[in-house]
Amino acid sequence: TRYAKRASLYRASLVLIAAIIWLP
């Protein structure tokens, strides 16, 4: 469904943001 795709995208962006915050 379109909602599921959007949710996975949101989850991926959260992981990316977390990496940006915690890596340095």
Specify the pLDDT at position 2: 81
pLDDT in tens, 10-24: 999 999 999 999 987
Q: Looking at residue 7, what is its pLDDT?
A: 93
The position carrying tokens 């989850």 is 11
The predicted structure's pLDDT at residue 3: 84
Q: What is the pLDDT of residue 23?
A: 85
Gap between the Cα atoms of 11 and 21, Å rounded: 15
pTM: 0.53
Confidence of residue 8 (pLDDT cuts 50, 70, 90): very high
Q: Give the DSSP H or E segment for 7.
A: helix 2-22
Residue 2 vs residues 6, 9, 13, 20: alpha-carbon distances, Å: 6, 11, 17, 27
Taking residues 4-13, what's their average pLDDT?
A: 93
